[in-house]
């Protein structure tokens, strides 16, 4: 983990968002003291906290996780595959879409999964990926 780099990034993102420590912490549902400690490099955030902060600062969670040293390139491909499979599960669970569809994620390639998910997104207007 690179605590100083992460701390500097968190502080810079908060400043760019024009939020006080208290405002950002409230939006992230964490204590302002904890956020201050993160910005000073004194605490190590969990992936859950990084996800909350990414939402507040409108940056990809992966970006913060990579800076924090939680996510590596190998992890990224695994995370992408997990996300793809979860999105396909959501498509297959939709009763309006899944009627007559009998495939499992193991039976099709990632490219076909993406195609199915993109088609579903266009038809329903829902964003899965």
DSSP label at residue 95: H
* Domain locations in the chain as residue ranges: 3-68, 73-124
The pLDDT value recorded for residue 56 is 92
According to DSSP, residue 69 is labeled: T
pLDDT band at 105 (very low <50, low <70, confident <90, very high): low
Alpha carbon distances (Å) from 20 to 11, 16, 35, 79, 100: 10, 10, 10, 32, 53
Per DSSP, 125 falls in state -
CATH placement of domain 3-68: 1.10.260.40
Mean pLDDT of 31-59: 90
pLDDT of the residue at 35: 96
122 pLDDT higher than 80: no
Q: Which residues contact 8 (CB under 8 A, 6 or more apart)?
A: none
CB atoms inside a 10 Å sphere around CB 18: 8
What is the three-class DSSP state of 81? helix
DSSP label at residue 99: T
Q: What is the pLDDT of residue 75?
A: 56
pLDDT at 92 over 50: yes
């Amino acid at each position: 983990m690179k605590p100083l780099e992460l701390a500097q990034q968190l502080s810079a993102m908060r400043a760019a968002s024009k939020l006080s420590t208290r405002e950002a912490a409230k939006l992230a549902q964490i204590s302002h003291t904890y956020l201050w400690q993160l910005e000073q490099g004194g605490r190590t955030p969990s992936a859950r906290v990084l996800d909350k902060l990414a939402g507040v600062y409108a940056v990809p969670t992966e970006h913060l996780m990579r800076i924090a040293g939680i996510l590596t390139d190998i992890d990224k491909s695994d995370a992408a595959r997990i996300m793809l499979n979860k999105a396909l599960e959501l498509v297959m669970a939709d009763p309006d879409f899944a009627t007559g569809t009998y495939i499992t994620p193991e039976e099709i390639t990632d490219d076909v999964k993406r195609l199915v998910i993109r088609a579903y997104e266009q038809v329903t207007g829902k964003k899965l990926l």
